[in-house]
A and B are shown apart, each in its own frame.
Chain A
Amino acid sequence: MSEATAARPPVTADHLRRTLDAMARGDVDVLVLGRESNARYLTGATRLWLAGTRPFNPGCIVVRRTGAVHLLSGTDDLVPLPRAQLYPMSWNPARIIGGVADVPGVAGARRVGVDGMTPLFEHLLTSTLGNVELADGEALLAAVRRTKSAADVDAIRAAIAVAERALEIALGQLRPGVRERDLLGAFAEAMAAQGVTTPAFEAVFASGERDPRSFSTARAIEAGDLVDASVGVLARGWEGRLARTRVCGPATPDHVDAWKVWSEEWQTLADRVRPGTPVGELRALGAEVTGVGAGDELLDDGYRLEPGVVLALGLRRGGVHGEEVLHVTPDGRETLTSFPTGP
């Protein structure tokens, strides 16, 4: 066997350092984390991707005293951690908690940050670790992850490039009679052709209705339809996403006008993307805003943008839906997406 391109782990030493700093500020001794995006941010590990939510399972541990991060894994394949920092998998939750308790520095922890919980694990965790106080590890990680380093932004840029190339190929298949889900299939295949086999979300190619749609269907696209394409990939653990609307067939002057209105309104919104702007202000103007990083990130209405934040800024106007990814800089923003707009 030969390896054409080895999967490169992202730079995570900086992520761990920032997390340890936040633990010190928040007086958190140990983080016990179940969310895969937190684990991949901290370790650079690529574990098997599964769609959808998963109940809390303690899969990643950070110990402030030792400064080490530990991962639930039976191998170091695509896991850039020393073997001593891996702890074993089990079907027995009590045995998993035993593995957590055996991690150096976990015993004696007073405040333990978690990013989720189940009633069962709450019982196991408190009965195994003694009278620990549970803290909000998800909020801690969310705050750390929100502002990106230059290397993080490069990783997002690379993911966007994969999504844009795949979207170009998928939209190249757009013609009357093609079904929405054929375009979804073409997108997925074009993504994989670039070595990326995991999406940030299943692409939606929606035609024929004006309401926002959640799924690609078996509908055959007709000449003159507007096709709303929302796509996202997860490349080396980082999200790259965008949305575009295209006309099936030749664009009319009305289409050109609609895109012009969309462009102007989107530009007005984008001009407000700079440090200090509350996210709620963008939403009040009709923007769809979500954080982009090692997976989706929540941005509350009250949160004021800071340099280093990366967000997707979407707008729906007059049948046109588009979304770009912006990086907030000290004096404004840079646009990370570069896919052409227009009908």
Chain B
Amino acid sequence: MTASPTLDAPAVDFGRLRRERLEKLRAALGANGLDALVLLGQNNVAYASGARAPAADASLAAHRRMVAVVTVDDEWPHLYTAFADGVPEELPADHVHGPIAVETEAGAGELAHSWPHGGVALDEFTVPLHRALRDRQVADASASLSAAKVVKTSDEIALIRAAQRINEAAMADVEPLVRPGARTTELSGRFLRRIFELGATANTVDPIFQIMPDSIDDGPYSATGDLVFPTVTREQVLEAGDVIWVDTGINFHGYASDFGRTWIVGAEPDARQRAQFEGWRDVITRVLDTIRPGASAADLVRAAGTVYGRRPWPEHLYLGHGIGTDSAEMPLVGTDLGIEFDESFVLAAGMIVVLEPIAWEDGYGGYRAEEIVAVTDDGCERLTDYHYRPFES
């Protein structure tokens, strides 16, 4: 694995990172009374083994997926992969295997044949694997994975921060292109070029540059009647005064970034738009003041309050989400899982929250941006470091 990003190399001890993740996974297995984890989801395999697979559309990624097997009594995971140049060097040779074709009957049968003993949790089946395991009890791995992943080690936080730096540097190079006559896909193109030049491990999401309507009714059809965001970027020509909500994310050594801001094309914000930004900032300030170990997700929801007479995020989204090997993971804050769920989730030091409230003034548009924070022993620390121009100089 090559380190050395073009930006400052993060102070990451990759050996320690991988060792501590495995310790957390084994502890989660023990807590759930399990003996082994079998992992087919690529972010989960990467988390457990440190292995890297090339980024690809979901179809290709599934067809050449890596597989990892973690057991409580083995120091190392077993890894099945086609990508020899993505295998961490410390993994013992007898734990590294060629690819296992779990999308086919033969490969699924092979994995079922070497199935670990005892209580086993799995993240996902392929159809052939589901058939091959029909006579076995298989638990869902999400509880163990989530328990291990939700609190980050210092190395994980350093990698999320490094991913965010690359993401932000690339967006700083996109900003000058935002002018009347430019195409949205041109912005995507500049972003993609820059993240690779700057050393991103992968692009993980089609960059979003959504031209916002003034009112929900002027936008795309909405099944909930609430704001539609995000929409997929298509080739559109920017016009002066367009308000665009941008949302991009990359991967750096297995960890995701998340960048969100509101930009205005070829114009300064008017007084109303500045007030929207202030409304958004007030929400962020109230929530940041609430974040500390022991606060519940519901405390954050209550602190966010209302803006323009409504909850500051749409029904199908959230006030905030975690980030790590997945671009959205636990903790989830303010989802339709409901306030009881939010009450039951308590923050701890080392958790990451991406706050993404929206100050929406229907009829006059709105402001949206994202702030990533790490929960510290006595509050939180911002991992996002990007300006709010043109709303604030």
Contacts and interface: CB of A to CB of B under 8 A. Distances in A.
A and B are interacting partners = yes
A3 interface: yes
B235 A195 contact: yes
Nearest to B189: A192
A338 interface: no
A214 B85 contact: yes
B234 A202 contact: no
A206 B49 CA distance: 24
B11 interface: no
A190 B188 CA distance: 11
Interface in B231-267: 231-239, 242, 251
B104 A118 contact: no
Interface in A81-95: 83, 86, 88-92, 95
A172 interface: no
B244 to A, nearest CB: 9
A89 to B, nearest CB: 5
Contact of A216 (B128, B139, B196, B224): B196
A52 B61 contact: yes
Interface in A57-115: 73-78, 83, 86, 88-92, 95, 114-115
B67 to A, nearest CB: 11
Interface stretch (B202-210, B279-287, B359-367, B369-377): B202-210
Interface string A106-137: 00000000111111101100000000001011
Interface string B300-327: 0000000000000000101000000001
Nearest to A54: B58
Contact of A201 (B57, B121, B232): B57
A299 to B, nearest CB: 10
Nearest to A206: B85
B41 interface: yes
A192 B185 contact: yes
Interface stretch (A181-189, A272-280, A315-323): A181-189
B29 to A, nearest CB: 15
A89 B335 CA distance: 11
Interface stretch (B17-25, B89-97, B215-223): B215-223
B32 interface: no
B193 A188 contact: yes
A181 B200 CA distance: 9
B179 interface: no
A77 B211 CA distance: 13
B170 to A, nearest CB: 10
A117 B130 contact: yes
A179 to B, nearest CB: 8
Contacts of B318: 91
Contacts of A216: 196
Interface string A134-175: 101111000000000000000000000000000000000000
B188 to A, nearest CB: 4
A91 B318 CA distance: 10
A189 to B, nearest CB: 4
Contacts, number: 262
A201 B54 contact: yes
B222 A296 contact: no
A83 B223 contact: yes
A55 B125 CA distance: 9
Contact of A197 (B123, B192, B220, B237): B192
A211 B318 CA distance: 46
A138 B104 CA distance: 11
B221 to A, nearest CB: 5
A3 B84 CA distance: 45
A273 to B, nearest CB: 20
Contact of A1 (B54, B204, B239): B239
B109 to A, nearest CB: 14
Contacts of A48: 205-206, 208, 230, 232
Contact of A53 (B41, B204, B211): B41
Contacts of B316: 74, 88-90
Interface stretch (A4-12, A244-252, A260-268, A328-336): A4-12
B56 A202 contact: yes
Nearest to B53: A214
A214 B236 CA distance: 34
A239 to B, nearest CB: 7
Contacts of B237: 1-4
A35 interface: yes
A300 B104 contact: yes
B124 interface: yes
B204 to A, nearest CB: 5
A197 B188 contact: yes
A197 B205 contact: no
Contacts of A1: 211, 236-239, 242
A134 B2 CA distance: 44
A177 B257 CA distance: 29
A204 B234 CA distance: 25
B57 A51 contact: yes
A201 B127 contact: no
B96 to A, nearest CB: 14
A191 interface: yes
A65 B40 CA distance: 34
A17 interface: no
A50 B6 CA distance: 25
Contacts of A290: 63
A308 interface: no
Nearest to A91: B335
A27 B54 CA distance: 38
Contact of B192 (A115, A188, A296): A188
Contacts of A54: 41, 58
A215 B192 contact: no
The 3 closest A-B pairs by CB, nearest first: A192-B189, A295-B59, A188-B192
8 contacts: A1-B211, A52-B58, A74-B222, A75-B231, A136-B131, A181-B196, A193-B185, A197-B188
Interface of B: 2, 4, 6, 40-43, 52-63, 65, 83-86, 103-104, 121-128, 130-131, 138-142, 183, 185-186, 188-190, 192-197, 199, 202-208, 211, 220-224, 228, 230-239, 242, 251, 316, 318, 327, 332, 335-338
Given A36-B59, A48-B205, A196-B185, 19 more contacts: A36-B57, A74-B223, A74-B316, A75-B223, A77-B228, A78-B234, A116-B124, A118-B122, A119-B122, A119-B138, A119-B141, A191-B192, A195-B183, A200-B57, A201-B54, A215-B54, A290-B63, A296-B57, A298-B63
